[in-house]
Structure 1
Amino acid sequence: MLKPMMYIFGTVGFIGTTFLSAAVNLMTVSLGASTLVTALILNIPSIRRALGLPLGPADETPAQQQNKVQYEAPRAPEAAAAASQGMAGLRERLTSSLDDMKKGVSESVSNYTGTYSGTEQERAERKRKEMIRKLEDLRKQQEREQFEQKYKGKK
């Protein structure tokens, strides 16, 4: 998404600055040129060593790259099994993604309208959570009242 935005902002910026004074355009061009030159200079390995900057991945030997520990994201057992199954795994992942999307849309609609459309099990779970929240609010209110009676002498 960042790549298309670069072109969109560049085009909008170009059109917007065409109506400004020449000094603003000159400043923009000089800032861009100085940034480009700085990036090119700082990518030279000898300059990076002289400034004490870490070397980039292109400067490392293959032996150095093999010794590095690579991060690998944890996978759920279901995801690992689905990935090994090929197209069947792809279908399962797409189905679960669509189910998650449907659930999210349903929750959004219910938040806006106050009505809930879902399976009977989902409605029961939502009702249970709502009941727990109400009981917790009632408990907090009772604790507050007890505190006021005990320490503030009210009521």
Structure 2
Amino acid sequence: MLVNWIDLVAKVMAGLGGLGFFIAAFSYRQQVRIRQAEWLKSLFEKFFENTTYKEVRSWLDYGVLHERLNVGDPVVQRQNEEKFTDFLNFFEFIGVLHFRGHLPLEQVWDVFDYYLGKIGTDMDCREWIDKYGFEKLKGLLARA
């Protein structure tokens, strides 16, 4: 009789342990999703709400990137190149986050598809990416 109780207690404990494992796994997955949403929100704010990338976004929107990167004044050209490099570095960072498993590709494209598409089709962007080694961004574009 005592053996039956011990077996019953062992089975209940195993069941509770299994249940605990599934609860922990579910909780972990929820935390990962929350973290991804926080990353995405932060990236959205930096890209669309701050003015840091606004000028370069407009260059792509209005098709004047080539002219801005090839201005006659060397000082202005260098400033524009720095702004454009910062812009591409933003997307390189997104590529790093994606390839390290912090942001799924679907989420990245849900928010940044328009500009990733612009970057992927603009010849100046592609040349700059190749010339200056934006490998994670290149990989991100290749997965589109």
Say which structure, 1 or 2, has more relative contact order (CA 8 Å, 6+ apart): 2
TM tier, shorter chain? under 0.3
Which protein has the bigger helix share?
2
> TM-score if structure 2 supplies the norm length?
0.26
